[in-house]
A = this chain, B = another copy of it.
Amino acid sequence: MKDSYKIAVVHGDGIGPEVARAAVAVLQAGVQTGTLQFVEYPAGATHFLETGDSFPATSFEGCRGADAILHGAAGIPGVVHPDGTEAGLDFTLSLRFKLDLYANVRPIRLYKGVPSPLGHPGSIDYVIVRENSEGLYAARGAGALLREEVAVDTLVQTRKGIERIVRFAFDLARSRNGSPKDGRRRVTCCDKANVLRTYAFFRSVFDEVAKDYPDIEAEHVLVDAMTVHLVNKPSHFDVIVTENMFGDIISDLGAATVGGMGMSPSEEVGDGIGFFQASHGSAPDIAGKGLANPYGTILAAILMLRRLDRRYRDDRLRLGADRMEAAVCAGLEDAALRTRDIGGNATTSQVVDALLKLL
């Protein structure tokens, strides 16, 4: 354990500042005073418009020197680079690559009180482990556009990259709390091995690593079929491991089944520092209206405390996380404390005030 932990806070764009502030307030109330030190750094599309720089070097150094990074959300549609990609996303995407945050962990859990669009959701509680450092994403900024006639991007997977993410997924399956699915822990490899060599390679490395975990069931599901299962039998899943782009897609689908992007936290970790945010975007259409759902970012803050505790063994972090989670559960069970996106009328600050009272 450390005396205190430095949390780099980056507000970003749209509703980013609102949800980031909400999470910081809840952290301050939930975790013993003095445990966390918050330092704010600028980045995002708004900062890009103001300064021409979407992610200043000083912000990067500040983030890199922190124990964890907490992010609101970034991006303004139309604020783009010459190749058409979004400038506001430089922060998230370059952090991933510069800090080698290779594991993107997205718990999909249906909390009591939150409406699901599924008719019979059953119990939903699985984790998507998205490979976060390879695949098509590694080609960002490197693809070619020839004579405005042909565009090319490259999908690359390495044995090292696949091995470490698959091990991460199996280790996570072993450590998950609660009773195993159907009496057994399970890791599902989601790929498109029937068509492409890169995905077939992903699957073959998955199969090799799985042999080291005989206590855990290993199975394969093609990505297209996976979308069907996530809608028809979400309760089946425990841990799902998949490559970068597929993880992007199916984690949004998973989030949709448990109340939407506002209910879905995201953790990006490497071998050291972690980066935490809600999975949702900056939602410029509702920014500044008090309508943003802060639960996703608060759930991300809980993931942050648990990750720090796993690394530094510190009861203040563990107790803070447990307290915050209890408050979130109580909040969600109370119809008056649900925001519009999850079927209620509460404003962001009504939710935050109530959670602070609960803590």
Residues of chain A whose beta carbon lies under 8 Å from any beta carbon of chain B: 75, 80, 83-86, 89, 93, 116-120, 136-137, 139-141, 143-145, 148-160, 192-198, 200-204, 223-225, 227-228, 231-232, 245-246, 248-253, 255-257, 260-261, 281
Contacts and interface: CB of A to CB of B under 8 A. Distances in A.
Contact of A143 (B197, B248, B251): B197
B261 A228 contact: yes
Contact of A228 (B144, B149, B225, B253): B253
Given A140-B196, A195-B137, A257 B231 contact: yes
Nearest to A88: B194
A202 B197 CA distance: 24
A19 B251 CA distance: 33
Given A148-B159, A151-B201, A86 B253 contact: no
A201 B117 contact: no
Task: Give the 4 A-B residue pairs with the shortest CB-CB distance, closest first.
Answer: A84-B200, A143-B197, A227-B253, A151-B201
A84 B159 contact: no
Copies per complex of this chain: 2
Nearest to A233: B117
A201 B85 CA distance: 10
Contacts of A153: 154-155, 196-198
For A137, A154, A195, A253, the residue with the greatest tally of chain B CB atoms inside 10 Å of its CB is A195
29 contacts: A75-B194, A84-B193, A85-B195, A85-B196, A85-B197, A86-B194, A89-B195, A116-B119, A117-B232, A118-B118, A118-B231, A140-B196, A141-B197, A149-B158, A150-B156, A152-B157, A153-B154, A153-B197, A153-B198, A192-B248, A224-B249, A224-B251, A225-B281, A227-B249, A227-B250, A228-B252, A231-B253, A231-B256, A232-B256
Contact of A197 (B145, B156, B194): B145
Contacts of A118: 117-119, 231
A225 B280 CA distance: 9
Contacts of A141: 197
Contacts of A246: 249
A245 B192 CA distance: 10
A85 B197 CA distance: 7
Contacts of A136: 155, 195-196
Contacts of A152: 154-157, 198
A320 B28 CA distance: 70
Contacts of A89: 194-195
A144 B200 CA distance: 12
Nearest to A229: B256
Contacts of A160: 149
Contact of A155 (B154, B203, B204, B225): B154
Nearest to A244: B195
A228 B249 contact: no
Given A153-B155, A260-B228, A223 B249 contact: yes
A256 to B, nearest CB: 4
A173 to B, nearest CB: 23
